[in-house]
Amino acid sequence: EYDGERNSEGERHGRGKAYLPNGDTYDGEYKHGFRSGQGTYRFRNGACYTGEYLQNKKHGQGIFFYPDGSKYEGDWVNDQRHGYGEYTYANGDIYTGEWFNHNRHGQGTYVYKDTGSKYVGGWVNGNQEGEAELVHLNHRFKGKFLNGNPVGHGKYVFDIGCEQHGEYVQSEQGKGEGEEEEEPSLLVAPKWKASEITKLTLWTPHGENPPSPREASLVAAAAAAEVVEERAAAA
């Protein structure tokens, strides 16, 4: 059922409202029979999209409210989240950054509502991957990530004025005789192996080798180690 403007060929053209057989409704602009321009599409399941369309597909700027209470506001291309946008999840977490083919992809910031921690850095196909910084209440980790886990060399920077350098190594899993290796990296989280504690430096994940000035005081070292132990115990 359609109530609205048509062109001389009888096509839906201009402003109109459509009631679809599945219970969805669309109120907005049409061009030559297609939803094109600004419009609001309400789904029977409670979801709603308000924004730009091009030939029946979400394309341009728009906001999508999902049935679970989450929402996405940003760029769309060919019905996909694509470009730059902000997604507020049902649990209150928020991702702001780049999207590619409906996935978090590129550079972006993910804020965890429960802890206040945030991940700032690279994403690949929805997963945390590449150089990044994981910022917590009183310390932060700078390094590289793969499949959502930190990998290789990095450092923890503590607000008390020191850093702990080290690397994340894949812990070996005991395998029985004749057992095949089935990517243990997917089963066991990498473990942090500290190498030294220093004063604050300018080293970032871009650097190949972190500096090695052993100048931190014993007090700072003890405090830093304590924070890492607390974090490990809480994990």
Give, in order, the Cα–Cα distances in Å from 113 to each of 84, 145, 217. 21, 21, 35
Query: What span, in angstroms and rounded, lies between the C-alpha atoms of 66 and 17?
Result: 22
| Domain assignment of residue 235, yes or no | no
Residue 26, domain extent? 1-83
Whether 104 and 196 map to the same domain: the answer is yes
Residue identified by tokens 């030294």 is 196
| Domain assignment of residue 134, yes or no | yes
57-65/71-77 β-pairing: antiparallel
| Domain assignment of residue 233, yes or no | no
Cβ–Cβ < 8 Å for 37, 55? no
How high is the pLDDT of residue 188?
74
Give, in order, the Cα–Cα distances in Å from 63 to each of 30, 50, 229. 19, 5, 43
Tokens linked to 107: 């550079």
Below-70 pLDDT ranges, the chain: 172-187, 202-235
Over the Cα atoms of the chain, what is R_g? 25
Domain with 75 in it: what CATH number? 2.20.110.10
How high is the pLDDT of residue 89?
98
| Domain assignment of residue 213, yes or no | no
What letter does residue 212 receive in the DSSP assignment? Answer: -
How high is the pLDDT of residue 71?
98
Query: What span, in angstroms and rounded, lies between the C-alpha atoms of 218 and 230?
Result: 18
How high is the pLDDT of residue 100?
98
Whether 76 and 106 map to the same domain: the answer is no
| Domain assignment of residue 111, yes or no | yes
| Domain assignment of residue 183, yes or no | no
Whether 199 and 100 map to the same domain: the answer is yes
Tokens linked to 24: 């969805």
Query: What span, in angstroms and rounded, lies between the C-alpha atoms of 145 and 28?
Result: 44
| Domain assignment of residue 180, yes or no | no
| Domain assignment of residue 119, yes or no | yes
- Rounded to two decimals, the pTM is 0.78
